[in-house]
Amino acid sequence: MIHTIKNIILVLILMVNFSYAELVLIVHKDSPIKHISVKHLQKIYENKSKTWAHGGSIIRTSLRKGENHRNFCNILGKNTTQLKRFWKKQVFTGRGPSLKTYSSQKSLIEYISTHENSLGYVDSSIDTSLVKVIKIQRVLP
């Protein structure tokens, strides 16, 4: 009986570890970018940073909903509603193009794989062989 309970607990622990994956940023395979700071990422998604240092307009992408989208918004210091409202206002006032949103990680990856200046995020457990994964630099206070 105790052996069975231990096995059940072990299986549950393994399921939790395998179901959680880290959020990663992705760019086109040919992008020279290797990492990006949280602060720069915030500026990009606040439409304050519009071009890459190596040239070209940044194409911001996002998932439409889900846990990965919520986690990304948390990195930006916003909730999902705030991010959506912000980009609607940008478009309405003519300050920027709409945020390109995708219903699946696969479609987001496919888009980024064919658009050189694009930036997005996915769960680290998904196949990212078509794109380049970059690191998020977290600056300690």
Indicate whether 1 belongs to any domain.
no
Indicate whether 14 belongs to any domain.
no
Dihedral pair phi/psi, residue 103, rounded to 5°: -85, -15
**pLDDT given for residue 1 in this prediction:** 62
Indicate whether 7 belongs to any domain.
no
**pLDDT given for residue 138 in this prediction:** 75
Q: Which residue has the higher pLDDT, 88 or 19?
A: 88
Domain residues for the domain of 28 are 21-137
Indicate whether 62 belongs to any domain.
yes
The Cα 70–Cα 64 span in angstroms is 10
Find the CATH number of the domain harbouring 56: 3.40.190.10
Indicate whether 29 belongs to any domain.
yes
Indicate whether 113 belongs to any domain.
yes
Q: What is the pTM of this model?
A: 0.81
The Cα 115–Cα 27 span in angstroms is 9
The pLDDT tens digits of the residues spanning 17-50 come to 334 469 999 999 999 999 999 999 999 999 999 9
**pLDDT given for residue 101 in this prediction:** 96
List 51's β-bridge partners, or say none.
57
Indicate whether 37 belongs to any domain.
yes
In the chain, how many domains are there?
Answer: 1
Nearest partner of 108 among 124, 94, 119, judged by Cα: 119
